[in-house]
Amino acid sequence: MPTDVRAVSVSGNPEEYEDEHVHAIYDEIAGHFSSTRYKPWPIIAQFLSSLPAGWVGLDSGTGNGKYLPLPLDRPGQLWTIGLDRSINLLRIAQTVGQHYREVVLGNVLDFPWRYGAFDYAISIATIHHLSTHERRKAAVKSLLHSISPNHGRALIYVWAVEQDNLSKRVIPVAQQAGEIQTVKQKDKPGVDVFVPWVLKEPSSKPDTPAQATQASAKVFNRFYHMFAAGELEQLVTEAAEDMKLQVVSKQLRTTVAAGVSGVTAVQTGWERSNYYIELERWRT
């Protein structure tokens, strides 16, 4: 069974491309996928723990909703509303943690909300499923629009080209992928790949021979854009500039003149094969 990652080049209508190589797959593998995705990542749990009571947030690309019950030590003090493109994942998210959750069927590129209605937003392992730079930027813009212009906070996680040692995946080298990606901007050396998901049909007999199990397994190739170092920061900067927001570093925040709207990256980093960025919107 092939379990390695291979480089691809995106072609055709990006929306149809994502329908085929992302949305349809998650709808089909929802149950199996969800059973493997239940542990929240520490930095995301910390982020949610740091938010004050009464805050309402958006989990854009919530999947099986594993972040909706957080923070576990203060249940009910925050409300995170989950949005996803996969109805079958949402059906799982709807009752995650033995409580009813608020979930919405929608696309992370769209904006079905009041502007600035949320206090916080998270986008975990989602934006890397969008097949063009413009669409990834549009998703970041939607996220920035969703949070309060005065105090909104956001956390974004995307898959990195740099993978940790624990990952058994074989990653195509950037040079190889670079040749394929002639249409992509030269200064964005991320890599477009297919990542296989091997779905084994549940066997009716527990003692089914291995060969029979193999035969009923199906491989789904999910599209990912693996982010290069610095690419996520660059994407956020472009999105913010499109929105006429000033991008100001943490150090220079106090020097900003009055009457300015902006965004600051309060932390960036790499964790478990992902890049992340935590953002704050502000108005002086």
Residue span binding other proteins (CB under 8 A) among the ranges 53-61, 201-209, 231-239, 276-284: 53-61
Nearer to other proteins, 56 or 180 (CB): 56
**118 counts as binding other proteins under rule CB under 8 A:** yes
The two tokens of residue 272 are 């478990």
Strand partners, 27: none
Q: Taking the CB of residue 89, how many other CB atoms lie within 10 A of it?
A: 26
User: Does residue 103 touch other proteins according to CB under 8 A?
Assistant: yes
Among residues 218, 210, 235, which one has the least CA distance to residue 141? 235
How far is Cα 263 from Cα 273, in angstroms, rounded to an integer?
25
3-state secondary structure of 188: coil
- Least distance to other proteins from the beta carbon of 57, Å? 10
Tell me the site size for other proteins, rule CB under 8 A. 36
Q: Which residues contact 32 (CB under 8 A, 6 or more apart)?
A: 197, 199, 200
Of the pair 94, 246, the CB lying nearest other proteins is at: 94
**Does residue number 113 form part of the binding site for other proteins (CB under 8 A)?**
yes
Dist CA 29 CA 41 (whole Å): 22
C-alpha to C-alpha distance for 37 and 21, rounded to whole angstroms: 20
Find out whether 128 and 158 touch, Cβ atoms under 8 Å. Answer: yes
Closest distance to other proteins from the beta carbon of 64 (Å): 14
By CB under 8 A, name the one of 111, 246, 266, 283 that touches other proteins. Answer: 111
CA-based angle 239:155:245, to the nearest 5?
30
238 touching other proteins, by CB under 8 A: no
Binding residue for other proteins (CB under 8 A) from 102, 233, 238, 271? 102
Positions 72 through 101 that interact with other proteins (CB under 8 A): 75-79, 81, 83, 85, 87, 90-91, 94, 99-101
Asked if 150 interacts with other proteins (CB under 8 A), we say no
Q: What are phi and psi of 188, to 5 degrees?
A: -120, 80
Nearer to other proteins, 112 or 269 (CB): 112
Q: Tell me the window of 46-54, 159-167, 193-201, 214-222 that interacts with other proteins (CB under 8 A).
A: 46-54
d(CA 128, CA 131): 8
Smallest distance, other proteins to C-beta of residue 160, A: 30
Classify 65 as helix, strand or coil.
coil
The footprint of other proteins (CB under 8 A) covers 15, 52-56, 75-79, 81, 83, 85, 87, 90-91, 94, 99-107, 109-114, 117-119
